[in-house]
Amino acid sequence: MGTAIFMVLMVCGYWYTSHDLTTRFKFKRSFGWDVYFLVALYGCVFVLQGMLATALLWLGLLLASAVMNALPSFFDAEHYHLHMSFMNWSFLGIQAPVVIMLAFAVIFCLWRSNWSGSARLDSHGRRELYKHLSRANGVEGLIYQCMEKGDLAWITLKSQRIYIGMIHTATFDSGDANNIVLIPMLSGYRDDNTLDLHVEHNYSAWYASHDIDLTSGPRSALDFRKVLLLSQVESLSLFDPAQVMAMGINRLTPTG
C-alpha cells in the first residue's frame, strides 16, 4: 500500500510539473535534489487533496447512515453502517479508502494540469506569465522587454558572431534547446584586435530595397529569422546605434 501511494505521489508530481506552465519554468530551472523535492512537493499536495476528498466522502456516508437510522419508517429496520462498510471494503487487497484517495489525487492532478483555467492560458495570459517569471532572470527580462516593446537586441555569440535585430519569440522551458528566434537587421563579427564591428550582411537595407516587412508577401522578414541557442549566447544587450558608430563599422554589404 505504501508503494502504491509513493508511486501515485511521484507520478502526479512529475505530471503536474511537466504540464503546468508556471511550475514547468520552476522545474526546468531546478537541478539535483531540488528536482526530486519539487516533484514530491506537488505530489504530496495532490495526495493530501485526495485524503481530504476521501474524508468528506466518509463524512457523507456517516451522515447518510445517521439519517437512514433515524427514519426507520422509510428504510429497512436494520441498523446502517455505511461508513464502516466503506472503511472495511477492499479492492485487489488494498483498502477501498486508499484506492479512492489515490483516484481523487490523480483526478485533481489531471484537472489542474490540463483542464483548469490556468492550464489553458490565452496569448495575453502567457505574456503576463512570462513577464512575471522573467523578473527573476536578467537575460529573460531583457528578452521579454525586446519582444514586448519591439526594441532591437544586440546578441554576441561565443564564436564572436554578432546579430542585431528584433526578438520574435524565445523558449525557456526546453532545457538544452532553449533558444531565441531573431529577425536580423545586421549581422557580422567583432575584430579580435580592434574590436570594430565588421558588418557582413545588412538585412535592413535588403528589406527596404525589396519592400519586405513582417507582413509582406510572398516573402516576409520572418523568412530570414535566425534561431540562436541560449547556450551559445555570450552577451545580450539593447542595440544602441550611437555606440555602433563610435566603435566603427567595416565591410558593409546590403545583401542577405
- Give burial (CB, 10 Å; 0-12/13-18/19+) of 20: buried
Please provide the size of the chain in residues: 256
Residue 173 C-alpha cell reads as 522551458
Q: Please tell me the predicted confidence (pLDDT) of residue 145.
A: 79
Closest C-alpha to 234, from 169, 155, 180: 155
Nearest by Cα to 130 from 172, 88, 175: 172
Q: Which of 193, 185, 137 is nearest to 160 (CA)?
A: 193
Structure confidence at residue 196 (pLDDT): 72
Q: Which domains does the chain have, with CATH numbers?
A: 2-119 (no CATH), 124-250 (2.30.30.100)
Write out residues in the chain with pLDDT < 70, as ranges: 1, 21-22, 24-31, 72-79, 90-93, 115-137, 173-176, 195, 241-256
Q: Please give the pLDDT value at position 252.
A: 41
Considering the entire predicted model, what is its pTM? Answer: 0.55
- Residues 22, 119: Cα–Cα separation, whole Å: 9
Q: What pLDDT score was predicted for residue 175?
A: 61
For position 48, what pLDDT does the model report? 92
Confirm if 203 and 165 have CB atoms less than 8 A apart: yes
